[in-house]
Amino acid sequence: MNKKIILIRHAKPIIDYYSKCNFRQCRKIIFDYNSSPNLSFDIDESTMNFLTSLNGTVFSSDMTRTKLTASFLFKEKNLKVDKVFREFDLDVLNIPLVKMRFNNWLAVSRIFWFCNLIKNTRMPKDEIKRAAEATSILINHQKQEDNVILVGHGMINHYISKNLKKDGWKLHKKIGKGYLGIKIYEK
């Protein structure tokens, strides 16, 4: 049996994604997104059975949504919480008088952030470096166990995936996408 590293994105926080808001209101929504204990677990029974059957250590970031997701999916498993697995730091672009939906604010802000035009957060190169550190932790821990599981976030999971592929890991299976999306890597 091949050893696996399994990446799972957290469950969807229940917040207002659809109302238009200005940048100040969007910052409040980000706060709610980061701290909300209310999550939507839209996962089918066969996927849930697969996840609960896994053995191995479960890693999570220290953010509320990932810890709650990990606890829900892997109730009695060994959970290791580490801030290295946090989502990339992102602030909202300060554009007065503009109103957009939450996801539009995030998309626009992320583009500006990747261009190094938002300076009040960690720089993209620093966050990508942190994702490499997180990948190393998973790979090193995986040498001791059959499965290593990360309940993480969209951007950091994306860069961990890229790092795993560079290290020779193959994407064995992908289940869903977005919230609660799962990627299973084998080597």
In the prediction, which pLDDT does 90 show?
81
CATH of the domain at 118: 3.40.50.1240
Distance between the two ends of the chain, CA-based, in angstroms? 10
Containing H/E element for 148?
strand 147-152
Would the pTM count as exceeding 0.85? yes
Name the residue range of residue 35's domain: 4-186
In the prediction, which pLDDT does 1 show?
59
CA 110 vs CA 107, 138, 143: distances in Å: 5, 26, 34
Q: In total, how many domains does the chain have?
A: 1
User: How much is the average pLDDT of 33-38?
Assistant: 93
pLDDT tens digits for range 6-22: 999 999 999 999 999 99
**Residue 83 predicted with pLDDT over 90:** yes
Report the relative pairing of strands 39-40 and 12-13 from DSSP bridges: antiparallel
Identify the DSSP state of 85. G
User: How much is the average pLDDT of 150-162?
Assistant: 98
Residues 6+ apart with CB under 8 A from 111: none
**Residue 89 predicted with pLDDT over 80:** yes
Q: Cα–Cα distance between 101 and 30 in angstroms, integer?
A: 12
